[in-house]
Every structure is written in C-alpha cells, then in structure tokens.
Amino acid sequence: MSRYWFGVCIALLLSGCETTHEQMLNHGYPPAYADGFEDGCSSGHQAAGMMVGNFRKDVPRYLHEPPYETGWDDGFRQCQAMQNSEEQRQYHERFWDQRDRDWQQEKDRDAAKAYRHN
C-alpha cells in the first residue's frame, strides 16, 4: 500500500470521536473495505500481543469480496505495526533512556573529579 493510503488510514485512526469504521465510510471507503479494516485491525492488535484485540476474519467475505480482503490485510498490517512500534518505544524509554541517564551521570561525575584535581 502506498504511503499516501497509509497516511490517510493513520489520520482516520487518530481523528475525532467517530469510530474508524464510521470515518472510513464518511471518507468514501466502501463498506466492505471498512468492515475488513476493522476486523483486520482488531486481529493485528491481537497478533502483536495486545489483550484487547480479538482475532476476527469473516473468511467467506475474505475469499469472495476483494474490498473486504484488502481492508482486512491493510488493517491487520497497520494495527500490528502500530502496536509493535508502541511497544518498541516503551522499551526504548525504559531501557535506553535509563542507560543514557546513567552514562551522562557517570560522565558528569568523572568530569567533576577531573576538574577538582586541577
């Protein structure tokens, strides 16, 4: 999927109080695509380890309705990637930021010792 559509989908996910499904319909997406995206997104969150998402796929629609199939695939990939990205950000904050703070503190202590002896 092109970056344009990825950006459009992310904007839809982040805007207003409407559900993503309603937003997609209001932006002209076919109902089958919006249904597939919603199911795929829930499944993508679940696949990434998020406890709130449930695996949902209407297999007959997936096999016979190309807009549902495309929506499901897009929703799954995007929501799984967003969940994984959030987990990586949290890991980075916990581990690397603390490591950076520890290194900076050690560097400052060593600099203070070096300046005191002069």
Give the structural domain span for 88: 18-116
Residue 11 lies in a domain: no
Total domains present in the chain:
1
Residue 50 lies in a domain: yes
Residue 74 lies in a domain: yes
Residue 36 lies in a domain: yes
CA 34/CA 20 separation, integer angstroms: 8
Print pLDDT tens along the chain (118 aa): 455 555 555 655 555 567 888 999 999 999 999 999 999 988 887 777 766 567 889 999 999 999 999 999 999 988 888 877 766 666 667 776 666 777 777 877 877 777 876 5
Q: Find out whether 48 and 77 touch, Cβ atoms under 8 Å.
A: no
Q: What is the pLDDT of residue 103?
A: 76
pTM of the complete model beyond 0.85: no
